[in-house]
């Protein structure tokens, strides 16, 4: 509206101006001049009006862009005047604003995404830490509820869980386990004398000693007061628990020192056996407690089995173990030799050294009775070294006496086979007597090599590197996978006597024996048949191509003095 009034004012002023000019200008001005002036004024007015409108439109568009933030919009002004140039400049500014706005928006989005990612990571970490802390706290609380705070051993609750699982496992595999309840004798007197703190130290020390006498697979737990409980997993025989009980009594009775005072403790042990003394946790624990009561009633410092028969057997076992320790020193052990005959010639081609125990009061004790005892007690290593020395000494003696060199075979127990010192010991003994290793043959059972095939292969290679001969004893008893035979550096196999016993009357034994002989020959191995007891067996085995025979039909094991007589007899026959 202001622009309209302004335009009217201009027109009015222009008219007044022209009228004034008509009255006051000199007469010399022509009318044409006046029209020219008037035309210029009208033109100026038209131009002014046009510019005003363009500026108004420009101003309106700018206001609209500013008000609505339409930075993507652009000014559209025709022409090439200053107003158009202003619009072009404004559009250029809007382009820059829009570009900057996009870059800013992009940067803002990136920063926002980064912040969100960091926030999520932080939340995740905080959540994980919280959960971990909750798990740790839960496990800690659970551990407190299942462990003895003083010794960190499992407590009664955890032991019961373990025992229940062990019973289930032993039932499925038909194994034997033992529960030993250990109680320190007169511990109340110790408590009254030395106080609670010192008693705690004593219990910690006792727990360490008990752990040291157990195997890795056994379980030691701490009950209330001065009681401990032990689970012996997978024991071969119930009497094995008596050896552990002896070690427990010995460990507890070792010297203790408290406040510069030295003293000793004793303990009582009650033993129950699964499945002999019970098939459930409750029965085994109850009967172990009853056995412990009997041990206490006997004056302490002893152990008792729940079953009296086992107690008697265990005592005999312990006494025999003690006697066996003295047997080597007292020269009670001896080697007997059973000849092995080559089928092709009928001559002795070697002997097997078999151990005998000539007890001064019990008489001759069969290996089946004391070899297992030696294995369980660890004496087998000492006895084995003695046997190697005896064999090498015998070979040297026969050599010096001019007898034909014969191979002497020795059975190697599982403990000897796997013990790292056996190879070193054997090399030392061979070196001491300067014996050719090829005259020593090591017989190793199928069960021993099949316990860990990879490890067995490595050990067998080490024995072979020494130069000794190696054979698999009791072959065919179901342990060896035939494909493993070619991996072992063997010289012979010994067919188990359980198959030889059935020849020639049992078709299955006949078929298996024939197949084993053929298989061994295909693999380049010599075949020895052990346990030959009849002429029919000799005839069948010879017909099947068996290389070597050994058994009572041919010769019983005899002493070193008597085996020499067989050597001389054969030599006389050859000379004759």
pLDDT in tens, 286-342: 999 999 999 999 899 999 999 988 888 888 888 888 888 888 888 899 999 999 999
Provide the pLDDT confidence category of residue 251 given band limits of 50, 70 and 90. very high
Proportion of the chain above pLDDT 90, given as a percent: 48
Which of the two residues, 145 and 239, has the higher pLDDT score? 239
Q: Out of 132-146, 163-177, 368-382, 390-404, which region has the weakest mean confidence (pLDDT)?
A: 132-146
To the nearest 10°, the Cα dihedral for 434, 437, 440, 445?
140
Q: What are residue 478's phi and psi, to 5 degrees? A: 105, 5
Q: Which of 206-215, 239-248, 362-371, 440-449 has the lowest mean pLDDT?
A: 362-371
When mean pLDDT is compared across 120-124, 290-294, 356-360, 413-417, the lowest value belongs to 120-124
Whole-number pLDDT of residue 28:
46
Length of the chain: 576
pLDDT at 483 over 80: no
Q: So what's the pLDDT on residue 110? A: 73
At residue 574 the predicted structure's pLDDT band, cuts being 50, 70 and 90, is: very low
Q: How far apart are CA 419 and CA 428, in angstroms?
A: 15
What pLDDT is stored for residue 191 in this prediction?
A: 87
For the ranges 209-223, 334-348, 398-412, 426-440, which has the lowest average pLDDT? Answer: 398-412
Q: Is the pLDDT of residue 239 over 90?
A: no
Predicted pLDDT at 33: 56
In this predicted structure, what is the pLDDT of residue 170?
92
For the cut 70, the answer to whether the pLDDT of residue 263 exceeds it is yes
Secondary structure class of 268 (helix, strand, coil): strand
Contact 209, 227 (CB under 8 A): no
| The predicted structure's pLDDT at residue 572 | 47
Give mean pLDDT, residues 531-552.
95
This prediction has a pTM of: 0.60
Residue 450 class from Cβ within 10 Å (0-12 exposed, 13-18 middle, 19+ buried)? middle
Contact between residue 492 and residue 475 where contact means Cβ atoms under 8 Å apart: no
Residue 356: what pLDDT? Answer: 92
Distance CA 312, CA 264 (A): 28
Is residue 91 predicted with pLDDT exceeding 70? no
Over the stretch 326-382, which tens digit does the pLDDT of each residue have? 888 888 999 999 999 999 998 899 999 999 999 888 888 888 888 888 887 788 999
């Amino acid at each position: 509206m202001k622009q309209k009034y302004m335009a009217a004012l201009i027109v009015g002023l222009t008219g007044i101006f022209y009228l004034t000019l008509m009255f006051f200008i000199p007469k010399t001005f022509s009318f044409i001049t006046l029209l020219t002036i008037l035309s210029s004024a009208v033109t100026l007015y038209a131009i002014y009006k046009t510019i005003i409108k363009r500026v108004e439109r420009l101003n309106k568009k700018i206001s609209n862009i500013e008000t609505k933030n339409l930075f993507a919009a652009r000014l559209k002004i025709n022409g090439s005047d200053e107003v158009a140039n202003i619009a072009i400049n404004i559009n250029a500014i809007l382009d820059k604003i829009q570009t900057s706005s996009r870059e800013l928006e992009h940067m803002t989005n990136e920063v926002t995404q980064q912040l969100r990612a960091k926030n999520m990571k932080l939340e995740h970490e905080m959540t994980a830490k919280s959960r971990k802390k909750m798990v740790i706290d839960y496990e800690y609380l659970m551990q407190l509820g299942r462990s003895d705070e003083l010794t960190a051993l499992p407590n009664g609750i955890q032991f019961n869980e373990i025992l229940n699982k062990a019973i289930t496992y032993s039932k499925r595999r038909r194994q034997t386990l033992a529960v030993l309840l250990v109680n320190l004798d007169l511990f109340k007197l110790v408590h009254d004398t030395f106080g609670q703190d010192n008693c705690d130290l004593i219990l910690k020390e006792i727990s360490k000693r008990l752990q040291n006498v157990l195997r890795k697979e056994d379980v030691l737990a701490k009950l209330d007061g001065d009681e401990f409980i032990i689970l012996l997993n997978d024991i071969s025989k119930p009497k094995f628990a008596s050896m552990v009980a002896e070690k427990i009594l010995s460990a507890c009775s070792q010297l203790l020192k408290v406040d510069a005072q030295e003293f000793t403790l004793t303990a009582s042990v009650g033993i129950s056996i699964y499945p002999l003394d019970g098939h459930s946790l409750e029965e085994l624990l109850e009967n172990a407690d009853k056995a412990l009561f009997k041990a206490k009633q006997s004056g302490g410092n002893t152990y008792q089995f729940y079953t009296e028969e086992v107690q008697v057997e265990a005592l005999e076992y312990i006494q025999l173990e003690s006697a066996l320790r003295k047997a080597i020193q007292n020269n009670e052990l001896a080697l007997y030799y059973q000849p092995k005959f080559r089928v092709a010639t009928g001559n002795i081609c070697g002997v097997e050294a078999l151990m005998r125990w000539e007890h001064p009061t019990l008489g001759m004790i069969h290996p089946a009775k004391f070899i297992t005892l030696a294995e369980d007690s660890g004496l087998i290593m000492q006895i084995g070294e003695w046997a190697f020395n005896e064999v090498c000494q015998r070979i040297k003696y026969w050599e010096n006496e001019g007898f034909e060199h014969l191979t002497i075979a020795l059975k190697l127990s599982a403990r000897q086979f796997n013990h790292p010192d056996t190879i070193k010991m054997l090399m030392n003994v061979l070196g001491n007597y300067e014996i050719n290793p090829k005259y020593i043959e090591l017989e190793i059972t199928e069960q021993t090599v099949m316990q860990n095939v990879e490890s067995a292969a490595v050990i067998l290679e080490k024995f072979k590197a020494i130069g000794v001969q190696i054979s698999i004893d009791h072959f065919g008893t179901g342990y060896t996978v035939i494909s493993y035979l070619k991996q072992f550096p063997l010289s012979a196999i010994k067919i188990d006597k359980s198959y030889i016993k059935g020849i020639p009357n049992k078709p299955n034994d006949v078929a298996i024996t024939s197949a084993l002989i053929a298989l061994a020959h295909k693999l380049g191995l010599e075949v020895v048949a052990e346990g030959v007891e009849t002429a029919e067996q000799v005839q069948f085995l010879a017909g099947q191509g068996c290389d070597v025979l050994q058994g009572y039909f041919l010769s019983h094991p005899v002493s070193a003095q008597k085996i020499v007589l067989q050597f001389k007899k054969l030599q006389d026959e050859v000379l004759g």
